[in-house]
Amino acid sequence: MTDDDADIWFEQRRKGFGAGMPIVWQGWVLLIGFVAVTLTGAALLTHVGPGPRAALIAVLVIAAAAFVMLAMRHTRGGWRWRWGGD
């Protein structure tokens, strides 16, 4: 890995838009942490009342936004539409 790739956590997708799979441990930690927060939040949604439910949904939206922003910042080649070529 070169100095330019020091902040790269995700590979670019071959087709479509967004990040591909994680390529370093930081990307895996981010992905597993996001999945854990999402699954925990989804499980809790069925057990809380309307007031806490709104707060929990807000936390999940913030977690998703943070995940997307970090993945965008740390994806090789950035996020753009790819057709499967180079």
Interatomic CA distance for residues 18 and 27, integer angstroms: 14
pTM of the predicted model, to two decimals?
A: 0.81
**How many domains does the chain divide into?**
1
Q: Which residue bears the tokens 């090789």? A: 76
34 belongs to a structural domain: yes
**Domain region containing 19:** 8-83
pLDDT for position 3: 46
Q: Which residues pair with 16 in a beta bridge?
A: 82
Averages of pLDDT over runs of 10 residues in the chain (86 residues) are 73 87 94 95 86 88 95 90 77
